[in-house]
Structure 1
Amino acid sequence: MSLTVRPIGRAEHLAFVDRLPSVSHLQLPSWGDVKSDWQAESLGWFEADGRLVGVGLVLLRPLPGLKRYLAYLPEGPVIDWEAAGLERWLEPMLARLKSRGAFSVKMGPPVVARRWSPEAVKAAIADPGAHRLGDVEPTSYDQGALDLADRLRAMGWRRSEAGAEDGFAAGQPRYVCQVPLAGRSLEDVQGGLNQQWRRNVKKADKAGVKIVRGGREDLPVFYRLYTETAERDRFIPRPPAYFQRMWSALGAEHPDRMRLYLAHHDGEVLAAATMLIVGGHVWYSYGASTSRRREVQPNNAMQWRMMCDAHELGAHVYDFRGITDTLEESNHLLGLLRFKVGAGGEAVEYVGEWDFPLNRLLHKALDVYMARR
């Protein structure tokens, strides 16, 4: 029998999530409050006996001038992705979203396909014949996750092209970097830092860098550093109201959902970062730093403090979020990959994001619109 998919309340959504080891912060009810330029709806998957067996946060954005929507489930939905009959989970979701006015559905199954150890990534970067991480032999892989891609294609889904979340081009990283914490002592985690990382953490400590927890009143300090970082690293910064909404919405849902860390040195904040916590999963969310006094290594000190705090919380993973999949020295993001992997992080590939066009004409029009932008 197929499942029934219908809207649910925030409390029911959150109660289901709280029973799990963790889900993506992008699938929390509060994330709909953060994404104020989208309409948000919580969906529930119900068995015939009324049991709630899955949830999903759907973000809806209308086409200009039309009451037709792009429906997006970032890093979701939260369902049984190993189920043999995946159709009974996804078909009622598509039917519900079509009735809601969706012309296209985008989702991101939170399923890991392949992993590369820090040593494997380091060897790949050094190999002149290796150009992309996906072409390098993984340290481990999940055959079920690889089969999932074939199952989705057979159902009419197609893998999305990678993209930034800008306008309609909603997208989350397919490749991320994660430091495993489960079953490891803090000494084990510290031993996973490469030589440069250990040296930089010691240098920061010797220079007098102090890492402190900040509050809402420190968001303007974070934002000044963030805009400096955006100019230096050539990306478009989010507006300050976005971070105010994050702090308010996530904090209202759970008082320790979002943290802010600041790296102080000689009376000045040199770096800052936000950290998100859902169950046993901790994410480094946004980072910011100044170019001044980089020699005292505030970023290494701050990340190490955040990793230590995640370990103290009992987290099973510290997630550095997105990394580039290119191994080309000419790519300016390769330095960020080295930084994250140097902390003992594994490169992790998810099965990616997938699209299902419910109205092929409008879906094609969206593709053309985005290509022109």
Structure 2
Amino acid sequence: MSISIDGASRAYSTEVDSVPDAEWDEIIGGFADAHHEQTACYASRHWKGRDSHLLLRAGGRPVAGARATVFKLPLLGRGLAFVRFGPFWRAAGSEADPRIYRAVVEALVQEYAVTRGHCLTILPRPSPVHQEQEYALLREMGFVRRRGMPDAERYFVDLSLLEEAQMKSFSQNWRYNLRRALGNALEVRLSETPQEAEAFASLYEEMVSRKGFDSATPVHMTRALMEGLPPGLRPRLALAFHEGELLAGATIGLFGDTAYYMFGATSAAALPLNAGYALQWWVIGWLRERGVRWYDLGGAAHEPGLRHFKKGMAGKSGRIVVMDGEYDRWASPIGRLAADAVFAARHARRRMRYGAGYGRLAKA
């Protein structure tokens, strides 16, 4: 395949749905903008066979790629190809080249919108540095923002700070609760045993039941990702104990230049001991030692208390990144209409889960 970029022709080759899962995950481990939702280990399990992938090579070397989730309407055969937190295009140790981003997006358009007739939707990976550039490139390439984000804010901790500066960056309330937690003789450590991964999943289920949540968070995948991803991409499970009792846990993914707070859970006994504060303080120190640049805490999931916690933790030196929304491009009106039907069904499910307020947030 030859793609014209900035008036010049540059040759790329594409591989579609032909890269073995293990090889794909080894490849994505070489990119600074990797994300766990773009790994084969996550996508193949979470989407149960609906995922498709495209890899872009230059001179035989992988330079970009994406996994898309494909939702087709029955009988029509058209629908939605959704790239969530991708594509990846910034090779580790290399300068970001927007020509590569344009090339991989154009290849995705050709495969999913033109050849297959779907609507292609891209939701860029949240980033304090590169996100706005990616949104601008999508607009230049004819993509249209048609849906806002109901949980648009993402909270990032700046891990370049030394310990004292990090403590000062926290909000006053966060520092107060952390100091109380550090006086409670909590043990925080990493775990890699299947038994403790199962205990963490049970802790999450207990929390969801206690708080009355309707959660679709795939916490159960912690063990599968720890066992199935290449060693350099495997998430780590950080656990907090008090007198031998498991109080809190967090699944931490390390992908490229960013660590991700993937899943978290606390018990009822964790609150008076401020175990969540001690757990996250330990995680920050551990990530700093590993040289990770950013710690993405995710969104607030419509919970004011969680928003207060994450905003205070990101602190004065962190970043609050606002995601602009999902961007669409289609080659035929049938593809657009089919995707609209898929998104309407998603909206209805989320409205049932989160209530009437979801509709107002999604239009923001």
TM-score after normalising by structure 1: 0.75
1:341 is matched with 311
Match of 1:43 among 46, 54, 61: 54
- The share of aligned pairs that are identical, in percent, is 23
After superposition, where does 1:291-302 map in structure 2 within 5 Å? 291-292=268-269, 294-302=271-279
1:74 is matched with 84
- Partner-residue secondary structure (3-state), 2:125: coil
2:156 is matched with 178
Match of 2:186 among 209, 229, 247: 209
Deviations 1:133-184 (A, max 9, x none): xxxxxxxx987456446425xx143343325xxxxxxxxx5420001113x3
1:321 is matched with 298
After superposition, where does 1:135-214 map in structure 2 within 5 Å? 144=133, 147-148=136-137, 150-152=139-141, 155-162=142-149, 174-182=152-160, 184-214=161-191
Q: CA deviation at 1:286?
A: 1.0
Does residue 1:355 correspond to 2:333, yes or no? no
How many equivalent residue pairs?
325
Match of 1:97 among 112, 129, 134: 112
Q: CA deviation at 1:113?
A: 7.2
Structure 2 distance, partners of 1:220, 1:12, is: 28
- Partner-residue secondary structure (3-state), 1:13: helix
2:252·2:261 contact (CA, 8 Å) conserved in 1?
yes
- Of residues 274-283 and 218-227 in structure 1, the stretch that sits farther from structure 2 once superposed is 218-227
2:225·2:235 contact (CA, 8 Å) conserved in 1?
no
- Of residues 297-306 and 73-82 in structure 1, the stretch that sits farther from structure 2 once superposed is 73-82
Deviations 1:291-311 (A, max 9, x none): 235221101011111111111
Deviations 1:261-280 (A, max 9, x none): 22212332222221111133
Structure 1 distance, partners of 2:215, 2:132, is: 38
2:122·2:326 contact (CA, 8 Å) conserved in 1?
yes
Name the amino acid aligned to 2:149. Answer: A
1:6 is matched with 15
Alpha-carbon RMSD: 3.2
2:128·2:319 contact (CA, 8 Å) conserved in 1?
no
1:174·1:353 contact (CA, 8 Å) conserved in 2?
no
| Distance 1:194-1:236 versus aligned 2 partners, 3 A rule | same
1:104·1:355 contact (CA, 8 Å) conserved in 2?
yes
- Partner-residue secondary structure (3-state), 1:311: helix
Deviations 1:76-114 (A, max 9, x none): 111378636976443331221247745222211236479
Structure 2: runs of 5 or more not aligned? 4-11, 91-95, 350-364
1:179·1:346 contact (CA, 8 Å) conserved in 2?
yes
Q: CA deviation at 1:11?
A: 5.3
Structure 2 distance, partners of 1:313, 1:86, is: 28
Name the amino acid aligned to 1:254. Answer: P
TM-score after normalising by structure 2: 0.76
Structure 1: runs of 5 or more not aligned? 115-140, 164-172, 325-331
Does residue 1:19 correspond to 2:21, yes or no? no
Structure 2 distance, partners of 1:90, 1:142, is: 15
Name the amino acid aligned to 1:251. Answer: E
Structure 1 distance, partners of 2:154, 2:328, is: 21
